[in-house]
Homo-oligomer: A and B are copies of this chain.
Amino acid sequence: MRDVAVIGVGMNRWGELWEKSHRDIWTEAALKAIDDAGVDHVDAMYVGTMSGGLFVGQEHLGAMLADQLGMGPIPGTRVESACASGGLAFRQAYIAVASGIHDVVLATGVEKMTDVDGGRATYALSTAADQEYECYHGITFPGLYAMMARVHMHRYGTTREQLSAVAIKNHHNGAHNPLAQYPMEITHDVVMKSALVADPLRLMDCSPVTDGAAAAVLVPLELAKKITRTTAVRVAASAHATDTLALHDRPDMAWLGSTAKAAKDAYQQAGVGPKELSFCEVHDCFTIAEIMVIEALGLCEKGKGGEASAAGRTALGGEFPVNPSGGLKSKGHPVGATGVAQILEVVEQLRGACGVRQIKDARWGLTQNMGGTGASSVVHIFERA
């Protein structure tokens, strides 16, 4: 397998983009990434989208977007793994370049979520969980993560304040991200005054519904060193693991087994461990998710994720910064695009291009993108080449 690098990234300004279609936002992100890479064509492209069918009544996005980009007849492939669709699309692009089948591959993610009414968006998202064993009984995603939070609080003493600490930190980081949907600072008081969605989770514990897209251009590392006008970023590891789709089937509802497995594989491939990472971009779809993810990644001890967050260890200047971009919480969460946008942040951090939210001397960055309640996890590690 060939070494692979990222030489271009792009995303649009995320938000409730009523005036734009999914084609528009995807094209903006794709063209930005292609411009950033400085290439005049791509050989193939992958699109991560969770539910084109339920959100906008459009499947077959691989062909549609290759055409939209004016690059047909190149292969365009849509990949789906619920909220991990973007990370998994990037992984398929990585495998394609590593295999030698294609040289210049565009990895993208897009979701247009606001064109359906509220109830149907919640239904569309629920198809990431087990319909027959979970959703038919009425539960939705905030409810599933609320159960995980309750178990975590009961077993480890995780507190309401510690959940808030995650949201406060991510909004603080996102306030410096010009492409974030909600770039505003918040306080514990703001969280506690927000609506209770599923006890203990309040509105400000939840990532928002977002329209957005993100894109990255991958090439063989050797080619990257020749053509990049900036810093080439090497893909040091790509790992993907699954867990039971239904939460109740797991031996431990407060442990993300797929993230732990993918991280273990990724650390082995990259030859580094959590201590060497300069920072991480992780899947904080709910505040409790970030707490559980940093445990599964081995950044802190099992059960200590809440404590670590409240102590500032995950802050920008902390011991292991998490979500310098603002994370899903502040930046937004267009489900299929999230995994690719995490990679955009890592690339820009490793280039030293993040301004106020720049991690000093960043060398190794990790992304963790998750589907459902963690039935899928995709972990990538990147190194400044």
A341 within 8 A of B: no
Report Cα–Cα, A372/B76, bound state, in Å: 14
Contacts of A80 in B (CB 8 A): 59-62, 78-80
Report Cα–Cα, A144/B67, bound state, in Å: 19
- On whether the beta carbons of B59 and A82 are closer than 8 Å, the reply is yes
A51 within 8 A of B: yes
Known: A77-B88, A79-B79, A257-B73. A242 touches B58 (CB 8 A): no
- On whether the beta carbons of A242 and B62 are closer than 8 Å, the reply is yes
Q: Encode A105-144 as 1/0 by CB contact (under 8 A) with B.
A: 0000000000000000001100111111001000000000
A92 within 8 A of B: yes
User: Which one of B1, B67, B127, B257 lies within 8 Å of A60 (CB-CB)?
Assistant: B127
Contacts of A95 in B (CB 8 A): 92, 95-96, 99, 101
- On whether the beta carbons of A244 and B72 are closer than 8 Å, the reply is yes
Number of A positions contacting B (CB below 8 A): 62
A178 within 8 A of B: no
User: Which residue numbers of A lie inside 8 Å of B, CB to CB?
Assistant: 1, 21, 23, 44, 50-54, 56-64, 66-67, 72-82, 88, 92, 95-96, 98-101, 123-124, 127-132, 135, 240-245, 249, 257-258, 261, 371-372, 375-376
- Interface CB pairs A-B, < 8 A, 25: A23-B132, A53-B124, A53-B127, A57-B127, A58-B130, A59-B82, A60-B82, A60-B127, A60-B128, A61-B80, A63-B245, A63-B371, A63-B375, A63-B376, A64-B245, A67-B242, A72-B242, A73-B243, A73-B257, A76-B242, A78-B79, A92-B92, A92-B95, A98-B101, A99-B100
